[in-house]
Structures are given as C-alpha cells and as structure tokens.
C-alpha cells in the first residue's frame, strides 16, 4: 500500500511540475511573441515615418528648384535620380510640372533654331545628303553642338518640316518615368511617345497610313473613356479631335477625297471598311465612321454637300 501511495504521489508531483513548466514556457513564448510583434510594429512605423520624411525632403528640394527657376536640364537630372524615391502621386506632380515647363520654354528654344540662318543651312546641307536627321548630331560646329546638347539634355529632339529644323518634346524620354507614375500618366506617356517618335503629318501631308490613323484614334478614345478625370484628359481630347479630323477630311496634301473626281481615296476606303469589320461596335469613333461610310455608300463614295455637312457637324460637337 505504501508503495502504491508513493507512486500516486510521485505521478501527481511529476504531472504538476510538467504542467507548471509548460505554463511558464507558454508564458515566456507569449511574452516573447508579443515583444516581437511590438518590435515589428515599431520598426514598420519607423520605416514608414522615415520614408515619408525622405519623400517630403525630396519634394521640398524639387520645389526649391522650381522656385529658383532652375534650368530644364537641372530639373531633368534631379528627376532621374529621385523620381523612384517618391509616391506615384508625387512622381505625377514632378512629371506634370516638368512637361508644363518644357512647353513654356519651347518657343524660346525654337528661336535659337529659327533665327540662326547658318545653323539652319548647315543642318539642311547635312540632312539632304541621305535624309537622315540623326546625322545633324555629327556636324562639326561648336555652336550647333552646344545647341543640340542643350536640346537633348532638356528633353527635346529635333524635327524637320517645310525645310526648317526645330525642337519638339521628346516623349520617348518620358518612358523612364512610366513605372513610377499613375496609370493614366503612364498611358498618356505611351500615347505621346507614339506621336513624337513618328509624327503623323509634315508639310500639310499625312506621313502615316490610314490604318495607323485609325489605330491611334481608337487608343486615344480608350484613354478618354478610361480616365475621364485625368489631368491630361484635355490634351488627349485635343489629340483625338485632330485624328478624327484626319479620318473625315485627310489633309491638304493628302486629302480623303480627290480634288479632281471627289472620290474617296481607295486605300482609306479599304482601311475604313476593314476596321469596321474587325472591331466591336462599342466605340463612338467607330460609330461615327460607320455612319460616315454608310452615307458615302449612298453618295457613291464621293464628296457631296451631304457629306460635307455631316463631317462638319461631327467636328463641331467636339468643340
């Protein structure tokens, strides 16, 4: 009996000890876990606080550049090194202001090209050798090299039309910012890069295909529908109006209708009919084009007073 009593007491003490030990261990683990969680929260909060402070400092530096009338080159260099460090909203603010300043400075830069006959002549002489505009960058003239460097470093590129050379905004250069801005600015950059990489018209003539006109107009319409509150909505609406005008009118040196016979351009007609076959009908642009082609069919695909009235009314609705 004494042995059995001893065994029962031993088991009771042992199990109690194990229970107490497990409770102590559990408490220690709970305390340790709580401390870890608190440390994580504190570290996360500290990191967020530092990031916000760094962003504020970066934006203050950017604002200081603007207030001190820094050159476009200085602003561009600052953006290159800092746009990835800020939020998408702040990145948009940077890109937004930079583009505005480019547009403001453009007339002044244009004068540096247009008012110097020697520069124009040397550029023309080089360009006309094989019609490669990139060759102007090889001209061995100090003044020209300085101007071209300023143009490029300020975010512009050189274009030519009607025998003149002039700067335009190089939106291809904006693509280095597209991963840091909002979706609407990213898509805006893509739309504008297409324009600056391959301008639609020169010397009052279209230099892109009718198919390309249709494609660009549809992409512009998509932007307008997708981002009605974008800061760049008016810019894209203006671009869309230009392409709708191309679609309905053509240009003076690439008219949609022959000056002699008043008949529609055969390539344009084919492109228009094809796009109406392959695209969905949930597009106002295509609805306009469909009505236009139906009306043209009724008029034997010739320019008539009825056609003139229709296309004029379409453009007026966009004003």
DSSP state of 137: G
Walk along the chain (319 residues) and give the pLDDT tens digit of each residue: 443 443 344 334 444 443 334 433 444 434 444 433 442 334 344 456 667 888 999 999 999 999 999 999 999 999 999 999 999 999 999 999 999 999 999 999 999 999 999 999 999 999 888 778 888 888 989 999 999 999 999 999 999 998 899 999 999 999 999 999 999 999 999 999 999 999 999 999 999 999 999 999 999 999 999 999 999 999 999 999 999 999 999 999 999 999 999 999 999 999 999 999 987 668 999 999 999 999 999 999 999 999 999 999 999 999 8
pTM of this prediction exceeds 0.85: no
Q: What is the DSSP track for 83-135? A: GGGS-HHHHHHHHHHHHHHHHHHHHHHHHHHHT-HHHHHHHHHHHHHHT-GGG
CA distance 318 to 308: 16
Contact 286, 294 (CB under 8 A): no
Non-local (6+) Cβ contacts of 64 within 8 A are none
Tokens of 307: 């056609």
Count how many residues are written for the chain. 319
Instruction: Return the domain boundaries, the chain.
Output: 200-319
């Amino acid at each position: 009996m004494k042995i059995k009593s001893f065994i029962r007491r031993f088991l009771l003490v042992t199990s109690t000890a194990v229970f107490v030990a497990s409770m102590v261990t559990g408490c220690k683990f709970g305390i340790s876990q709580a401390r870890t969680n608190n440390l994580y929260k504190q570290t996360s909060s500290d990191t967020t606080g530092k990031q916000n402070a760094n962003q504020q400092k970066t934006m203050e530096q950017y604002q200081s550049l603007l207030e001190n009338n820094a050159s476009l080159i200085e602003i561009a260099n600052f953006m290159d090194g800092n746009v990835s460090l800020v939020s998408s909203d702040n990145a948009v603010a940077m890109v937004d202001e930079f583009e505005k300043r480019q547009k403001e400075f453009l007339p002044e830069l244009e004068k540096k090209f247009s008012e110097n006959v020697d520069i124009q002549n040397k550029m023309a002489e080089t360009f006309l050798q094989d019609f490669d505009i990139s060759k102007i960058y090889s001209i061995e003239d100090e003044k020209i090299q300085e101007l071209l460097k300023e143009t490029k470093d300020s975010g512009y590129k050189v274009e030519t039309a009607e025998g003149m050379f002039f700067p335009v905004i190089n939106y291809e250069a904006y693509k280095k910012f597209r991963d840091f801005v909002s979706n609407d600015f990213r898509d805006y950059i893509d739309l504008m890069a297409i324009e600056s990489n391959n301008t639609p018209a020169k010397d009052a003539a279209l230099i892109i295909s009718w198919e390309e006109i249709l494609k660009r107009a549809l992409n512009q319409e998509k932007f307008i529908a997708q981002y009605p509150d974008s800061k760049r909505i008016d810019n894209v609406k203006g671009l869309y109006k230009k392409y709708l005008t191309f679609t309905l009118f053509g240009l003076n040196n690439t008219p949609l209708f022959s000056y002699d016979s008043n008949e529609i351009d055969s390539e344009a007609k084919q492109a228009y009919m094809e796009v109406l076959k392959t695209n969905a009908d949930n597009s106002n642009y295509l609805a306009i084009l469909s009505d236009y082609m139906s009306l043209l069919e009724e008029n034997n695909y010739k320019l008539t007073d009825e056609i003139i009235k229709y296309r004029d009314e379409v453009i007026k609705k966009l004003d």
